[in-house]
Amino acid sequence: MRSSTIKLTPAFVSYLQVGPLLLVLLGFFGIPLLMIVGVSFFEYDGVNSVPAFQFGNYADLFTSPITLTLYIKTLEYALIVWAITLVVGFTVSYFLAFHVRSLLWQMALFLVCTVPFWTSNIIRMISWIPFLGRNGLFNQALIGVGLTKEPLEFLLFSDFAVIIAYVHLFTLFMIVPIFNAMARIDRSIVEAALDGGSSRWRIMWEIIIPLSKTGIALGSIFVITLVMGDFFVVNTMSGGHSASVALAMYNQIAAVQYPFAAASAVVLLLIVTLLVAAILRLVDVRRELAG
């Protein structure tokens, strides 16, 4: 206090400190979001976007048979990838949290799982191409072992490839929050259950899963929103054989049909928000997030 010339109230200091964050988030997230909502009511005259307030873009969207197909496909991807990443992420986290005894090893192995997060998604995605291709490693191995004579065609540029790439890219979004939740579980509860004669399965279902719930919910939110918003994995790994809501939107943006893209974005956002709200209703993650 002594050396400060102006006396600042604590609340004012807080606003000064949080101000830059708020400015960036409003300027590059809040206002752009409102822009999308605004443009979704504009008219597209075949060349330009004309400011207007009409529901034509939404009417087109809801009456187009492609919309439903795209949403079903996208939700199908989201559901399959969610299920796989949940099982894999939970198993890996459980192994790290409960079976690796040395803290140093735990930290090292956890890092091994998180390092890919800090590397390029595009590179990690295309690294599947030499694996899954017609002459790829996987087919060569299958033919070498004698399981098939002809290379399998469905491996690359298919739903299979899309899902493999998603699981590869997004499983760590499950591992980090679930491991975090598991690391906080008081080991003495597990000890007590063991002393009481509980089986492994009962401990799993009645202690570990309920106490990891917040981590599971956070991981699920990440994976579902990432898959729902993806366009480049579907674009590359399906080889043009499949599409998603975001990819269709990307194509509209590329064709400068902004009002259609914006209407489509608003609907996608509403659906993602509903999914996230449903997860938050099931599990209260607020305390977890706020630290």
Partner 1 sequence: MQRDLGKRPWTFYVLAGFFVLFVLFLYGPMSAIFVLSFQGPTGGLTFPMNGVSLRWFTALFNQQRTGDFAGGFTRSIVLALMVLALTVAISVMAGLAFRRRFLGATAVFYLAVASLIMPGLLVGLGVGLLYQTVGVTPTWFGSALGAQLTWTLPFGLLIMFAVLSRFNRAYEEAGRDLGASHWQIFWMVVVPILFPGMIAVALFGFTLSYDEFPRTLLTVGAENTLPLEIWGMTTNVTSPALYALGTVTTLVSFTVITLALGSIAIIQSRRSRRPISAKTSPTDPSEIA
Question: Is 84 within 8 Å of 159 (Cβ atoms)?
Answer: no
Determine if 219 is a binding residue for partner 1 (CB under 8 A).
no
Shortest Å distance, C-beta 221 to partner 1: 6
Residues 52-71 that bind partner 1 (CB under 8 A): none
Tokens of 130: 């030499």
53, 65, 111, 145: which one binds partner 1 (CB under 8 A):
111
Residues 125-164 that bind partner 1 (CB under 8 A): 126-131, 133, 135-137, 140
13, 50, 52, 59: which one binds partner 1 (CB under 8 A):
13
Q: Where are the beta strands (DSSP E) in the chain?
A: 43-44, 49-50
Determine if 271 is a binding residue for partner 1 (CB under 8 A).
no
Residues 68-97 that bind partner 1 (CB under 8 A): 88, 91-92, 94-96
Question: Is 248 within 8 Å of 70 (Cβ atoms)?
Answer: yes
Give Cα separations from 99 to 94, 109, 114, 171, 175 (angstroms): 7, 12, 18, 20, 15
Determine if 231 is a binding residue for partner 1 (CB under 8 A).
yes
From residue 188 to residue 217, the character string flagging contacts with partner 1 as x (rule: CB under 8 A) and all else as - is --xx--x-----x--x--------------
Q: What is the DSSP letter of 6?
A: S
Question: Is 224 within 8 Å of 82 (Cβ atoms)?
Answer: yes
Among residues 173, 182, 190, 179, the alpha carbon closest in space to that of 211 is found at 182
Shortest Å distance, C-beta 77 to partner 1: 14
Contacts of 22 (CB under 8 A, 6+ apart): none
Shortest Å distance, C-beta 117 to partner 1: 8
Interacting stretch for partner 1, rule CB under 8 A, among 6-14, 54-62, 64-72, 76-84? 6-14
Question: Is 283 within 8 Å of 218 (Cβ atoms)?
Answer: no
User: Based on CB atoms, which residue is closest to partner 1, 56 or 106?
Assistant: 106
